Amino acid sequence: MITHPAFSPEPWDIRERGLDLSVLAQSESVFALSNGNIGLRGNLDEGEPHGLPGTYLNSVFEFRPLPYAEAGYGFPESGQSVIDVTNGKLIRLLVEDEPFDVRYGELGAHERVLSLRDGVLRRTADWVSPSGHCMQISSARLVSFTQRATAAIAYEVRPVDAPLHIVLQSELVANEQLPATSADPRAAAALESPLQPEQHIAHDARARLVHCTRASGRRIGAAMDHTVHCPANVRTEIECSPDTARFTLTTRLARGESLRVVKFLAYGWSSMRSIPAISAQVEAALTLARESGWEGLLAEQRQYLDDYWARADVDLDGDPEVQQAVRFALFQVLQASARAERRPIPAKGLTGPGYDGHVFWDTESFVLPTLTYTTPHAAADALRWRHLTLPAARQRARQLTLDGATFAWRTINGEESSGYWPAGTAALHINADVADAVIRLVQATGDEAFERTAALPLLVETARLWASQGFHHVDGSFRIDGVTGPDEYSALANNNVYTNMMAQRNLRGAAEAAERHPDEAAGLGVTGDEIAAWARAADAMFVPYDDKLGVHPQAEQFTDLAVWDFAQTRPDQYPLMLHFPYLQLYRKQVVKQADLVMALFKRGDAFTADEKARDFAYYEPLTVRDSSLSACIQAVLAAEVGHLDLAYDYLGEAARMDLDDLEHNTRDGLHIASLAGAWLTLVAGFGGMRDSGGSLTFAPRLPAPLTRLTFSVLWHGQRLCVNINKTNATYSLEGDASVELAHHGRTFQLTAGEPVTNPIPPAAPGPRPSQPPGREPVRHRPGRA
């Protein structure tokens, strides 16, 4: 399954030696740089060859038609797709009369290194041109965390053995040609050349292109400026046309002399501001960047990341690959969110066009738990984005004849963009997932302003949704029928345990928040009767249980269904959804991704240890992990019920999903949720951290290969550090307060500056559960190639 063997396991770097063009697209995702506002895929400076060129701005999308062979009421007719905006990464090189292209001539040493400490992608190449000229080329690229609108590239070229004529072309290119993506001609047409030129200006070393999208009306400014360092004489030229700006440098370098160019890039966009306003915005960013200079940007970047690692790093002994993977994961989670600032965190971040650039429940269920404890302001921003989409969610609820708000299953601008409703709109659990993230953030930060202005409306409107989607049966129970849980190999089931339990948490959270903030609640029209109704529904929430088997069915009747015939399923028939119709998948016991097991994690407070062990053992042999969202959750539960070796195997899968391209689709972008899941696996899995009971509890226990695990979480602004070894765990707190924690079920008080060490009891797991044949996680052993 490992298609990119080239990343060596170093603690702080992702290093690629050599250049394998067959995995170029994958490496472009792995080497993508982003600050949550701008995203640049790791395309080669010279543009070609490429797997998939990509430059993205958060929330810059185009509408496209959603066609239906047979339409139905409420099916969304228009969807959104992220678009590739003006490419500013391009620096082309001409040596004598030959363009630098790794496919021609001879490529000697080639290395790309993503530094997780610096936030810089560096590249060096030794190249002999077809006519025998020997060159050294190096570049460094960053997307600034501190200057949100800015990226920069330092590019250097040096002839090795003879004087040479050099031409360098630094470009902005809009509407660049992309490989065909959609099979639907109408969708493809909507996304072809999506940028309409509005302005192009160039002078000195500076140029600017302004474009606007056709239907979505996003006005985009892209600008570049350059500084040049060269001992030789350099002639420069700048030119531009509606879709291209080009800064050209010509020089003749003596042997060993080098030409160094720093390219500053600035991007801005708005759906409201005028051409002059957008122009001024990007010019200001460019001026600031140029003033900072390359070294200044580099220093700011390092400082920003030093702060990040100081609070967020996970440090461990025993497995260099996992060490690398978890830092890569944390870095990518930061890249996806750091400066998104009330814009969404898409499933792929800004690393590729996968899933059309949409945000899903991934954000709240996987990414935000990580951000909440490592970068809470980014978690708050993501939820404030949800809050901004409340009008669309209310309107969607009205269309679905529901009360409150229904968040889109997949979207960029807040409007439903899901074209298959049984696995889209029907997955109403996303609303409880949003509420869960809101409750977690408030709990972890104590941020009252956030609670009043964003959390409360989100909780109230989602609680209203559940009150109207569910109903009290004549037996008194509150039932939620006809919805789809996390497992997409089931649909439209009654009383999905995960959904019902998360809705219960949502209803209770809304009631509590409304009682804490009665004035604001009254402003939202909340009455005492409504709060009482939420509490009644939550208390009466129906949770099905199979008495005969002694397990929870994923949804009512699930355990009565036929079990999928795993023995007759060939390895090449996974993922099942590409080889079997829903007609077969839905009616059988086969689980795409953790669903009931997800409930065991997210609502761990509602299950006994015994129930968790039995349920986990029941669902393991049914779960095929055809989703990247599954391994990490299975790892967490495996660790909880004592199967540390199994958890460790799942950790390997979750952590190296993208570095090893385990799902063969890293080319379309990174799996940000799975990356966040790597952190969850270590912190919630082997650290045993839980928060669903209202406070932080831990039940740490290390798998055999790990000898130490150290991580930190932020709790009400204070850094809580947990240091685990084979025999005990030491808790320490920075700051000036104290906090009540629990360790393996025993509560204790932790005071700042007074570390507490607790012994770790041995695990007593039952027999290791089996997985569907051929779907066992790869046995993960440190040092495996």
User: Can you read off the two tokens belonging to residue 73?
Assistant: 């009421």
Say which DSSP state 357 is in.
G
Say which DSSP state 632 is in.
H
Answer for which of 2, 21, 71, 277 binds a copy of itself (CB under 8 A) is: 71
Q: In degrees, to the nearest 5, what angle opens at C-alpha 33 toward C-alphas 27 and 35?
A: 150
User: Can you read off the two tokens belonging to residue 545?
Assistant: 């249980």
Does residue 567 bind a copy of itself (CB under 8 A)?
Answer: no
Contact code string over 83-102 relative to a copy of itself, x by CB under 8 A: --------------------
Answer for which of 247, 421, 489, 607 binds a copy of itself (CB under 8 A) is: 421
Contact between 712 and 693 (Cβ < 8 Å): no
Strand order in the sheet with 708-715: 315-317, 708-715, 718-725, 728-733, 756-759
Does residue 425 bind a copy of itself (CB under 8 A)?
Answer: yes
Stretch that binds a copy of itself, among 71-79, 430-438, 626-634, 751-759 (CB under 8 A): 71-79
Torsions phi, psi of 496, nearest 5? -65, 125
Given the complex with a copy of itself, which of 564 and 648 has the nearer CB atom?
Answer: 564
Answer for which of 332, 365, 418, 710 binds a copy of itself (CB under 8 A) is: 418
Does residue 424 bind a copy of itself (CB under 8 A)?
Answer: yes
Closest CB 79 distance from a copy of itself, rounded Å: 7
User: Can you read off the two tokens belonging to residue 748?
Assistant: 């204790």
Known binding residue 361? Answer is yes
Answer for which of 1, 272, 449, 583 binds a copy of itself (CB under 8 A) is: 583
Contact code string over 467-486 relative to a copy of itself, x by CB under 8 A: ----x-x-----x-xxx---
748/756 Cα distance (integer angstroms):
9
User: Can you read off the two tokens belonging to residue 101?
Assistant: 């292209």
Given the complex with a copy of itself, which of 469 and 723 has the nearer CB atom?
Answer: 469
Stretch that binds a copy of itself, among 280-288, 375-383, 577-585, 630-638 (CB under 8 A): 577-585
Does residue 571 bind a copy of itself (CB under 8 A)?
Answer: no
Q: Is 458 strand, coil or helix?
A: helix
Which residues does the annotation mark as catalytic?
A: 488
Backbone conformation region of residue 382, classed left if phi is above 0, alpha if psi is from -120 to 50, else beta? alpha
Q: Count of CB atoms within 10 A of residue 160's CB?
A: 15
Known binding residue 323? Answer is no
Stretch that binds a copy of itself, among 101-109, 285-293, 399-407, 621-629 (CB under 8 A): 399-407
User: Can you read off the two tokens belonging to residue 314?
Assistant: 């996970």
Closest CB 65 distance from a copy of itself, rounded Å: 8
Stretch that binds a copy of itself, among 40-48, 69-77, 626-634, 713-721 (CB under 8 A): 69-77
Answer for which of 284, 384, 580, 734 binds a copy of itself (CB under 8 A) is: 580
Contact code string over 145-184 relative to a copy of itself, x by CB under 8 A: ---------------------------------------x
End-to-end CA distance of the chain: 12
Given the complex with a copy of itself, which of 299 and 543 has the nearer CB atom?
Answer: 543
Closest CB 664 distance from a copy of itself, rounded Å: 17
Torsion sign, CA atoms 314, 670, 423, 635: negative
Closest CB 524 distance from a copy of itself, rounded Å: 23
Q: Is 167 strand, coil or helix?
A: strand
- Compute CA distances 546 → 430, 560, 585, 615, 771, whole Å: 26, 9, 21, 11, 21
Stretch that binds a copy of itself, among 279-287, 422-430, 594-602, 682-690 (CB under 8 A): 422-430
User: Can you read off the two tokens belonging to residue 738?
Assistant: 């104290």
Given the complex with a copy of itself, which of 577 and 606 has the nearer CB atom?
Answer: 577
Answer for which of 11, 67, 256, 761 binds a copy of itself (CB under 8 A) is: 67
Q: Count of CB atoms within 10 A of residue 58's CB?
A: 28
Answer for which of 215, 562, 704, 737 binds a copy of itself (CB under 8 A) is: 562
Answer for which of 168, 261, 326, 426 binds a copy of itself (CB under 8 A) is: 426
Burial of 697 (0-12, 13-18, 19+ CB in 10 A): buried
Closest CB 171 distance from a copy of itself, rounded Å: 36
Closest CB 67 distance from a copy of itself, rounded Å: 4
Q: Is 125 strand, coil or helix?
A: strand
Known binding residue 592? Answer is yes
- Compute CA distances 432 → 117, 273, 304, whole Å: 36, 35, 33
366/591 Cα distance (integer angstroms):
19
Answer for which of 93, 152, 282, 400 binds a copy of itself (CB under 8 A) is: 400
- Within 13 Å of residue 278, how many CA atoms lie on the same side as its CB? 23
Tokens 């100081």 identify what position?
Answer: 310
User: Which of 210, 209, 251 is closest to 228 using CA atoms?
Assistant: 251
Answer for which of 113, 465, 491, 597 binds a copy of itself (CB under 8 A) is: 491
Given the complex with a copy of itself, which of 66 and 699 has the nearer CB atom?
Answer: 66
Given the complex with a copy of itself, which of 388 and 561 has the nearer CB atom?
Answer: 561
Given the complex with a copy of itself, which of 42 and 424 has the nearer CB atom?
Answer: 424
Answer for which of 313, 582, 716, 730 binds a copy of itself (CB under 8 A) is: 582
Given the complex with a copy of itself, which of 115 and 425 has the nearer CB atom?
Answer: 425
Question: What beta strand segments (E) does 161-214 contain?
Answer: 164-173, 195-203, 206-213
40/211 Cα distance (integer angstroms):
18
Closest CB 510 distance from a copy of itself, rounded Å: 21
Given the complex with a copy of itself, which of 155 and 586 has the nearer CB atom?
Answer: 586
Does residue 621 bind a copy of itself (CB under 8 A)?
Answer: no
Given the complex with a copy of itself, which of 102 and 577 has the nearer CB atom?
Answer: 577
- Compute CA distances 631 → 439, 595, 638, 654, 777, whole Å: 25, 12, 10, 6, 8
Does residue 104 bind a copy of itself (CB under 8 A)?
Answer: no
Q: Which residues contact 484 (CB under 8 A, 6 or more apart)?
A: 422, 423, 426, 427, 428, 429, 490, 491, 492, 493, 496
Does residue 761 bind a copy of itself (CB under 8 A)?
Answer: no
Stretch that binds a copy of itself, among 306-314, 398-406, 431-439, 605-613 (CB under 8 A): 398-406
Q: Count of CB atoms within 10 A of residue 719's CB?
A: 16
Does residue 39 bind a copy of itself (CB under 8 A)?
Answer: no
Positions in 499-558 near a copy of itself (CB under 8 A): 556-557
209/223 Cα distance (integer angstroms):
6
Backbone conformation region of residue 574, classed left if phi is above 0, alpha if psi is from -120 to 50, else beta? beta
Q: Which pairing describes strands 718-725 and 728-733: parallel, antiparallel, or unpaired?
A: antiparallel
Does residue 416 bind a copy of itself (CB under 8 A)?
Answer: no
The DSSP line for 365-409 is: IIIHHHHHHH-HHHHHHHHHHHHHTHHHHHHHHHHTT-SS----S
Please count the residues of this chain forming the interface with a copy of itself, following the rule CB under 8 A.
Answer: 53
Given the complex with a copy of itself, which of 69 and 764 has the nearer CB atom?
Answer: 69
Given the complex with a copy of itself, which of 227 and 477 has the nearer CB atom?
Answer: 477
Answer for which of 494, 718, 730, 758 binds a copy of itself (CB under 8 A) is: 494
Q: In degrees, to the nearest 5, what angle opens at C-alpha 600 toward C-alphas 323 and 506?
A: 105
Write out the binding residues for substrate: 361-362, 592-593
Write out the binding residues: 361-362, 592-593
Residues of this chain that interact with a copy of itself (CB under 8 A) are 66-76, 79, 184-186, 399-402, 418-426, 471, 473, 479, 481-483, 491-492, 494, 556-557, 560-562, 577-584, 586-588
